[in-house]
Amino acid sequence: MAQPLAAGGMAMGAPPTTVPPPNAGAVMDARSNGTTPRHYAEKEIYQYDAPWPVYALDWCKAQTDREGFRLAVGSLIEEQVNKLQIVTRSDLAVWDEMDRYKYYGKQHQPDFVPLAEVDSYYPITKVLWEPRKRSPRYSDILVTSSDVLRLWELEDNPSYGRYDSTIGGRRGYNNEFQQSLIKRSELVNVKQRDFCAPLTSFDWNEVDPSLIVTASIDTTCTVWNVETCQAKTQLIAHDRDVYDVAFMHDTSDIFASVGADGSVRLFDLRSLEHSTILYEAPPAPSSPSGSSFASAISDGSRPLLRLQFNRLQRELLATFHMDSDTVQILDIRYPSAPVAELTQSHQSSVNCFSWSPGHPGYICTGGDDAQVLVWDINSQQQQQQQQPSRRPSSQHHPLSQPQNIVQSPSLRYVADSEVKSLSWNQSLPMWIGIGFGKTVQALRV
């Protein structure tokens, strides 16, 4: 069974001091659209059991409890029957009489219920809700990546709840959802209509929400205008497959990418003639058999799988190598060597991470060891201040030691199987969403 977060005896419900819990468990009444306080005891863990293995995961960016506790969940099925679902906490949902009978009539009330579902023929590599809305709108926008980039609109289902001609009947009730995901557009490069290289990841710019940048196995990154559904520019970003890409926060021009060649590269849309190599991974160690999957796809380098910029300290970004239990923290002002490493706590490969939206030093990581760890990268700050000041520089060899080695996470949670996805809720920062197997959990920290 899953074990609660703990750090030196601290229970999961005890949050970091910088992220206080809501007063007396107060949350907003879903039926008042988040305007009327409603007091009841929240659980520490909410769980959704999906009908298929889960991978892509993202929280809605809306500010109210009812809308902010919605999750977009993508399946990982190795055939053309994949799904995208929107789920919400059942006690924050809006029910009619039939809904109450369907869910509350059962002896066991589920924590989450699905609101909408749509087919996706290929596994979804990433899903993102639109950045925080600046103007009210009755529908939501999501984007997914797989074979191509798709833009979806979440709307109320007009046929939901309609009665059929039979007395007391309801047409297709078991197969209907309250809302519908409507595909509004597919973003496809005109030059690649005959063949579209699969997209490994993408990121949505929060400063200029019209911009999305994608990463592909064909070595390119493409910047899209989602309003016109046109590619603004495409560049060869790496020597091999590109695995992840991310915009620097609070800017509409700067993004970074990682890939199979083991490098982190920084780009500026105002000057695409040049790029900066922030970090190059050391060569992959030779395996006893003389070959490995990592070396086969990277020509001897250690591939970097993911990267994400710190939301509050925008100069910092996190990344990790393929088949590695360590996360590197880089500072774009001091290239070539990590400023910190999170190490010796995961017992197997790291798969995912997510920076805290409310504290610049907190990051959550998940791995094949089924652990979810919350780290404070400044936990040894006092010790570092007692040592001679040292900053890595561009003259340092890539194998230079990081400035700060963090070996003890602040919080620890053990899931039932390998953790494949993480999402720290930006609007409700006391919640972290995790995906493992066919299970999605919301953990209160």
312 or 3, greater pLDDT: 312
In a domain, 4, yes or no: no
Instruction: Give residue 177's pLDDT.
Output: 85
Q: What is the DSSP letter of 25?
A: G
Count up the domains in the chain and report the number: 1
Instruction: Give residue 92's pLDDT.
Output: 86
In a domain, 5, yes or no: no
In a domain, 28, yes or no: no
105 or 52, greater pLDDT: 52
* Token code pair at residue 142: 């999501």
Distance CA 193, CA 214 (A): 16
* Token code pair at residue 63: 């500010």
59: containing domain:
40-444
Looking at every residue in the chain, the average pLDDT score rounds to: 80
Instruction: Give residue 269's pLDDT.
Output: 92
Highest mean pLDDT among 16-30, 332-346, 395-409: 332-346
Q: What is the pLDDT of residues 77-109, one digit of tens each?
A: 987 889 999 999 998 887 654 555 455 555 578
Please say if the pLDDT value at position 393 is more than 80.
no
Please say if the pLDDT value at position 10 is more than 70.
no
β-pair type (211-216, 199-204): antiparallel
Please say if the pLDDT value at position 68 is more than 70.
yes
The confidence band for 291, taking pLDDT boundaries of 50, 70 and 90, is very low
In a domain, 18, yes or no: no
Strand order in the sheet with 140-145: 126-129, 140-145, 149-156, 179-187
Distance CA 183, CA 147 (A): 15
Q: What is the mean pLDDT of residues 194-200?
A: 77
Instruction: Give residue 80's pLDDT.
Output: 80
Distance CA 337, CA 353 (A): 20
Measured CA distances, 352 to 376, 407, 445 (Å): 16, 18, 18
Residue 330 · residue 339 · CB < 8 Å: yes
The confidence band for 56, taking pLDDT boundaries of 50, 70 and 90, is very high
In a domain, 44, yes or no: yes
In a domain, 15, yes or no: no
In a domain, 118, yes or no: yes
3-state secondary structure of 170: coil
- CB atoms inside a 10 Å sphere around CB 208: 13
* Token code pair at residue 218: 């064909």
Share of the chain above pLDDT 70, in %: 72
Distance CA 421, CA 134 (A): 28
Please say if the pLDDT value at position 121 is more than 70.
yes
3-state secondary structure of 149: strand
Buried b (16+ CB within 10 A) or exposed e, 235-272: eebbebbbbbbbbbbebbebbbbbbbbbbbbbbebeee
Q: What is the DSSP letter of 352?
A: E
404 or 59, greater pLDDT: 59
Instruction: Give residue 132's pLDDT.
Output: 77
In a domain, 152, yes or no: yes
The CATH code of the domain that includes 283 is 2.130.10.10
DSSP readout, 71-122? EEEEE--SSS-EEEEEEEEGGGS---HHHIIIIITSSS--SEEEEEEEEESS
Ranges 147-156, 227-236, 316-325: which has the least confidence: 227-236
The confidence band for 330, taking pLDDT boundaries of 50, 70 and 90, is very high
Instruction: Give residue 160's pLDDT.
Output: 74
3-state secondary structure of 296: helix
Please say if the pLDDT value at position 389 is more than 60.
no
